[in-house]
Amino acid sequence: MKKSIFMIAVASMLIAGSVFTACKSSTQKEEDAQAELQDAQENLNEAQNNANAEVQNVATAEEWAAFKTEADLKIKNNEKRIAELTLKMNKPGEVLDPLYKARIQTLEKQNKDLQDRMNAYEKSQSDWETFKREFNHDMDELGQALKDLTVDNKK
């Protein structure tokens, strides 16, 4: 009996000793967690930088030249259309309301802004896909607004 109690006591001490020596203190656990958090943060930053580098693609010279030629043509066509509308507005005998004049001026300003954006991009050359998508969207909206300006919705 003494032998079995002695064996249980020794086993208990060994287990207790291994538990106490194997466990980390809360300070050590906190330091390990901070180190893991720092590593994870660095990995996240690196992944974000890689993703940003892929997104920040720029246009090739051929793409830019084709896009610029097409956009210049659209802008020139818009300018002609705006000039026609302005001429029509100023024609003697035709009385157009001030709202019509304000719309023409707004469209003229939007067309000028598109030209300025294109010139600004030519100098910066950043994020080609986003610029192209937004520019084409704005150009299409301006073209539609020019068409809608002369449509007579009164029936």
Whole-number Cα distances in Å, 136 to 7, 76, 128:
84, 15, 12
Write the pLDDT tens digit of every residue in 1-51.
Answer: 777 787 787 777 777 666 665 666 778 878 888 888 788 888 878 877 766
Write the pLDDT tens digit of every residue in 135-147.
Answer: 999 999 988 888 8
Return d(Cα 10, Cα 117) in angstroms, integer: 82
Return d(Cα 44, Cα 138) in angstroms, integer: 35
Q: What whole-number percentage of the chain has pLDDT above 70?
A: 79
More reliable by pLDDT, 44 or 83: 83
Q: Would you place residue 86 in the very low, low, confident or very high pLDDT band (cuts 50, 70, 90)?
A: confident
Averaged pLDDT for residues 78-103: 78
Name the nearest CA neighbour of 128 among 45, 48, 23, 58. 58
Domain segments of the chain as ranges: 2-55, 61-149
